[in-house]
Amino acid sequence: MSYEQKFNAWYVYMLCCSAALGGIMFGYSTGVIAGAVGSIQSAFGLTPSEVGWAASSIIVGAVIGALTAGAIGDKLGRKRALLVSAIIFIVTSWLSATTPSFTVFNLARIACGFAVGLAGTVAPMYMSEISPAKIRGKASGIYNLSTVTGQLIVFIVNFFVAKGMTEAWMNDEGWRMMIGLQIVPSIIMLLLTLFLPESPYWCIKNQRSTDAVKVLKRIYPEFNEAEASILFNRPVPRTDESSALKSSPVKSSPVMKYILVVGILIAVLQQFTGINVMNYYAPLVLQNESTTQDTILFQTIFIALFNGIGGLIGMNLFDRYGRLPVMKIGTIGSILGLLIASWGMYTHDSGYITIFGILFFMLLFAMGWGAGAWVLISEIFPEKIRGIGMSLAVSLMWVANFLITLLFPIVNDNTWLQANFNGAFSMWIFVVFNIICYIFLSKYVPETKGVALADIERVAAEKMHKKSGDLVNYAEK
């Protein structure tokens, strides 16, 4: 539409930064376990499988939150869904930090995970809906950057909480302080979300034309009554969770099925790159006889920092060069980083080669799959299936996250693998998955640079036609 050619980019970025507080909570809530997991293991006397459960219990809630996020976001609105998340974050921060029971701790972390899954689905949805196509890559990339910022904050918090403290104090009080300080960004998220306007897309779908016009006029200075008349008189597709998969857009359209599968695989494959090991178990990966706990926690700060730098680079490249070229380069770099890190582990290096490989991996992963996956899944689903598409993609992403987080300690602590490969075996597994990710990008994912959300279906149909060699009769849908 003509009014979309001129827009208030800074206003859009401001709204995206406010909505991205859900991403900061995502990063803090999931990243805090990296510095606390060893103390939690000692405090509760956990087995390796229970350590995996302590780290991954939050993901159970995230799966549930993501699965229900589409319905909650459609029913309550994007803004109120984010407010619900903020309230849950506040309550669970206090509960998980103060309970003496491992069972209650896990229940609180599961509830916190629900908020993570809810915010992690609704926030990117909100950001893509308010962003003009020309800057949607950068605007949506803010969400990934916010998750990394949350991880950086918590790694810094973990370092200063643990610095100079005894192991006994860490086992008794330190890990509780790390988790309890999450309440600070939770309150900030609650306060700033109160001032967010509702998504104009949601307002249009729910006949709140006055609210939609207010936001659209702020985003698009040339938006006028004539444009509003066209916009509000067009048919609004149904996206409710109960009927989305049964309705004809998914059931009868090969293109919609293709988009749904590709969108879900983008989210799932991101988790198989090796990023979760770095986020949740970096201290365990870096641990050796010559490295102190303070040094390891200090190194995790740089892991998060390089993640943030890579995300910032990626989000600024997507709208210039396209999503796919940047993500392919990032995937190749991730493979090289994992190979370098695995060599350091395999040769029992004192730590420099290993940490260099990990930092290289984090930089290139964040530039590619880290930022790119969130941009793609927030924009690849057409209006007809956006709610169910985002919910399925993010929830299955968390399922993959859960499996990797739960299984890694078991594989990493395997006596035979440790004796023969010293932790390198896990890195080689992730190298194979990154090769699969590169092939998937090349063959199946459509390029969405500069494509309006309304045209995503057409672009996907063209990609499907090129991939299969069969004629997709797009006009007959």
Exposed / middle / buried, residue 11 (Cβ in 10 Å: 0-12, 13-18, 19+): middle
Which residue from 233, 228, 198 is spatially nearest to 213, judged by alpha carbons? Answer: 228
pLDDT at 321 over 70: yes
Q: What is the mean pLDDT of residues 154-167?
A: 84
Q: Are 383 and 244 in contact (CB under 8 A)?
A: no
pLDDT at 470 over 50: no
- Categorize the per-residue pLDDT at 369 as very low, low, confident or very high, splitting at 50, 70 and 90: very high
pLDDT score recorded for residue 232:
54
Which residue from 28, 114, 66 is spatially nearest to 267, judged by alpha carbons? Answer: 66
pLDDT score recorded for residue 284:
63
262-292 tens-digit pLDDT: 999 999 999 999 887 776 666 666 665 556 6
pLDDT score recorded for residue 228:
61
Rounded distance between C-alpha atoms, residue 249 and residue 243, angstroms:
10
Which pairs count as long-range contacts for 320-325, CB under 8 Å and 24+ apart, including other chains? Answer: 321/449, 322/447, 322/449, 323/137, 323/372, 323/375, 323/376, 323/445, 323/447, 323/448, 323/449, 324/441, 324/442, 324/445, 324/447
Exposed / middle / buried, residue 85 (Cβ in 10 Å: 0-12, 13-18, 19+): buried
pLDDT at 472 over 50: no
Rounded distance between C-alpha atoms, residue 17 and residue 251, angstroms:
36
Please, what is the average pLDDT of the chain?
Answer: 82
238-260 tens-digit pLDDT: 444 444 445 446 666 788 888 89
- Categorize the per-residue pLDDT at 407 as very low, low, confident or very high, splitting at 50, 70 and 90: confident
Rounded distance between C-alpha atoms, residue 73 and residue 66, angstroms:
10
2-21 tens-digit pLDDT: 556 678 888 988 998 899 88
Rounded distance between C-alpha atoms, residue 269 and residue 272, angstroms:
5
Q: What is the mean pLDDT of residues 84-106?
A: 92
Q: What is the mean pLDDT of residues 335-353?
A: 82
109-152 tens-digit pLDDT: 999 999 999 998 899 889 888 888 788 777 777 887 888 888 88
Rounded distance between C-alpha atoms, residue 101 and residue 387, angstroms:
37
pLDDT score recorded for residue 474:
45
Q: Are 137 and 449 in contact (CB under 8 A)?
A: yes
Supply 462's token pair.
């063209």
Q: At what angle do helices 275-286 and 386-412 cross, to 10 degrees?
A: 20
Q: Are 68 and 116 in contact (CB under 8 A)?
A: no
Residue in the structure block whose two tokens are 């690849």:
380
Q: What is the mean pLDDT of residues 172-190?
A: 91
How far is residue 240 from each of residues 100, 124, 251, 385, 391, measured CA to CA in Å?
41, 18, 15, 9, 11
Supply 459's token pair.
């672009």
Higher pLDDT, 476 or 260: 260
Exposed / middle / buried, residue 44 (Cβ in 10 Å: 0-12, 13-18, 19+): middle
pLDDT at 397 over 80: yes
- Categorize the per-residue pLDDT at 475 as very low, low, confident or very high, splitting at 50, 70 and 90: very low
* pLDDT > 70 in the chain, percent: 86
25-63 tens-digit pLDDT: 888 887 787 778 788 888 888 877 787 788 778 888 988
Rounded distance between C-alpha atoms, residue 436 and residue 449, angstroms:
23
Cβ-based neighbour number of residue 463 at 10 Å: 21
User: Per the confidence metrics, is the pTM higher than 0.85?
Assistant: no
Which CATH class name applies to 2-196+237-470? Answer: mainly alpha
Radius of gyration of the chain (CA): 22
**What is the domain partition of the chain in residue ranges?**
2-196+237-470
Q: Is the dihedral of CA 158, 163, 166, 167 positive or negative?
A: positive
Which residue from 89, 110, 71, 72 is spatially nearest to 398, judged by alpha carbons? Answer: 110
Q: Is the dihedral of CA 464, 466, 467, 469 positive or negative?
A: positive
First to last CA, the chain: 23
